[in-house]
Structure 1
C-alpha cells in the first residue's frame, strides 16, 4: 500500500487513552486537513482499545496497529515507523507525536515546514515553555548535564518530530530506535534541526508516566550511547588509577625523608593500593564490555511484525 503523494503521515502510540486520542484525530482533521493519514499504534490496551471508527469519525484515513502486548512508548513508536517504512512512498512527510494533546496539532505545520530545506532530514521540537513541578525541572537539568558528560552529546527534545521518508527508513533499520527514539535520532547521523514550540495541555486524563518511569526513560537514552559512556568511564578510571600511583609515589617520598607521621604511610599506601586495584579492574571490565558491544545494530526488515496482532484500516465516513 502506498498513500497519496505528498500526504502527511502521523504516527502516534496510544495506551488506554481513547478520549484524548479521539479528540486528537478530530484536531488533526481540523488543523491539517482530511488528507492526513493516521498510524495509531495501540500498545496492548485492554480497558480502552483504539477503535478505527474514531479515525473514520474524524474524517480521516488511517490504520490502527494492535499489538500483542504492551511493549512501551518507545517500542510502539518503533513499530509504527517500521510499518511506515515498509508501506509508504518516498514523497510522504512523517510526524511522530504523542496522542494526549501535549504535542499540539497546530504546531505540525511549523514543524513540517522545516523539512523544506534540502539539507534537513529531521525537525525536532524543543519546548519554549514547560508546565512541570520543580522536582521534574531539577531532575531534567541534572539529567541533561549528566547525559552531556557521559555521552558527549546534548539532548533537548523528545518524540515530537517531523521526518522525511529517507530518514524514516534509516531509523527503522536501527536497533537503537527500540530503546530511545530521540537518542536514536542523535546517533543516526541524520541532518537534524530544531523548532521551538509551546507544549499544550492534555486533552483528558492523567499521564501514566511517573517519576521512576521518567528516570528510566532518561537512562535508556544513555544506553543508546553505551559504548561512548563505557569509554568515558574507562578513561576516568584510568585517570584515577594514575593519580593513585602518583599519590603512592608521593607518600613513599614523604616516608623516605621522614616527614610522614607513624602509621600514616601504611594507611595512605593501603587506601591508594585499593583505589588502584579497583579502578584498574573496572577499566579492564569496561574495555571488554566495549569490545563486546561492537557490531550489529541493524534490524531485519519487517521485524516489527512479530509484535503486531492485527492491522485495522479506517476510511473517512
Structure 2
C-alpha cells in the first residue's frame, strides 16, 4: 500500500503550494514496512517516519501522530486509499475560507463495504449520538482536518483510551464537512477485524457516557419486577389448586437473576478497568524512532 499511497498523495500536497510534512506512524508492523518507508523517504524529503515499538492500536497510533505533528493544519488519513487524498485540498480550502478548526470527511457512498459493515456502522453512530449526546456526523471516521488549536486541545486532554471520532466533536470547535465516496482497498486486507470494532464501540460508550451503568440499574429494577410477577403467578396457581413443579420456577428465577448479575458486573468491570488503566499511568504508545528527531543533529552539524 505504501508506494501506491505515496504516488497518490504527493502530487496533491505538492499542488497546494505550501510547506508540508507527511508523518507516517508505523504501529509496530512486523513486515517490510520500515524498509519500504526508508526507500520512499530517500526521494521524498517531506516524509517523516515515526515507528512504535509495539502495536498500540489505531487510536493510540493517531495519538502518536497528533502529539508529533507540527503543521498549522493536520490531516489524519489511513493509507489504504479508501479515503481519497484528493479531498485534502478541499478540506484545507474550506477551513481557511470559513475559519473552521475541524473539517470532517463524511462518506456519502459506502457501497464498497459489505452490507454487515454498513449496518453495524449505522447502528454505531445512532447509538453513540443517543447515548453519548455527542454531535457526531454520520459516516465520519478518522479522516479529518484539524487546526493547530484543535490539535493542541486534543493533546492537552488526559485521555488514555481516546476515541477521536467522539473527542473531536466534543470540543465544540467550529466545524464543517466534506463528502466523498468511499473506495475499495487498493491492496492488501484490513487488519481491523470485528473484535476491534466491538472494542471501539465499548470504548466509545464507556468513555463518553454513564448510560451503561444506568442500564444496569434499570435492568436490576426490571428483574425485580419480573421476579415479583413470577412469584405472583406461582402463588395464584397454587391457590387455584394447580400443581406446578417447584423446581421449574426456581430454576427460571435463578438463571434470570444470575444472568442479570453477571451483566451488571460486566458493565461495572468496564468502568473499573478504565479507572485501573488511568491510575497505572502507562503511556498509550512507545516510540522506537522518529526520522525527524534522528536527523536533527546531522542537520545542525551541516549548518
What residue in structure 2 maps to residue 110 of structure 1? Answer: 90
Q: State the secondary structure of the residue aligned to 2:141.
A: coil
**Residue 97 in 1 paired to residue 77 in 2?**
yes
Answering whether residue 68 of structure 2 is matched by residue 83 of structure 1, we say yes
Q: Does 1:262 align with 2:243?
A: yes
Query: 1:206 aligned to 188, 191, 197, which one?
Result: 188
Q: How does 1:220-299 map to 2 (within 5 A)?
A: 220-226=200-206, 228=210, 230-252=212-234, 254-255=236-237, 257-258=239-240, 261-263=242-244, 267-268=248-249, 270-276=251-257, 278-280=259-261, 282-283=263-264, 286-287=267-268, 290=271, 293=274
The DSSP-based 3-state class of the residue aligned with 1:124 is strand
- CA drift of 1:80 comes to 0.7
Alignment partner, residue 11 of structure 2:
27
Question: 1: distance between equivalents of 2:159 and 2:230?
Answer: 43
State how many pairs are aligned: 287
- How far apart in 2 are the matches of 1:18 and 1:25? 10
For structure 2, the residue ranges without an aligned partner over 5 or more in a row are none
Moved more, 153-162 or 109-118: 109-118
* Paired position in structure 2 for 1:57: 43
Aligned partner of 1:156 in structure 2 is 139
CA apart distance, 1:114? 4.3
Q: Deviations over 1:219-251 (max 9, x none)?
A: 323214326353143134223323323313532
TM-score by length of 2: 0.73
Q: How many Å separate the matches in 2 of 1:22 and 1:53?
A: 11
- Structure 2 distance, partners of 1:208, 1:65, is 21
CA-based RMSD of the aligned residues comes to: 3.9
SS in 2 for 1:172: helix
Do residues 140 (structure 1) and 121 (structure 2) align? yes
SS class of match (2:139): coil
Distance 1:167 1:298 in 2: 26
Contact 1:102–1:201 at 8 Å: present in 2 too? yes
SS in 1 for 2:51: strand
> 1:148 Cα deviation (Å)?
5.5
Distance of aligned partners of 1:111 and 1:34 in 2 relative to their CA distance in 1, 3 Å threshold? closer
CA distance in 1, matches of 2:168, 2:201: 11
Q: CA deviation at 1:165?
A: 1.5
Quote the Cα distance in structure 2 between the aligned partners of 1:29 and 1:193: 21
SS state at 1:94 partner: strand
Q: Are 2:161 and 2:203, in contact at CA under 8 Å, matched by a contact in 1?
A: no
1:115-146, CA deviations, whole angstroms, 9 ceiling, x for partnerless residues? 3545x542221101121233433443444455
1:133-177 per-position Cα deviation (integer Å, ceiling 9, x unaligned): 334334434444555676565663211001122221222244647
Q: 1:262-300 CA distances to partner (integer Å, 9 max, x unpaired)?
A: 116763355235424542565466457646745986998
Tell me the SS of whatever aligns to 2:142: coil
Structure 2 equivalent of residue 68 of structure 1: 53
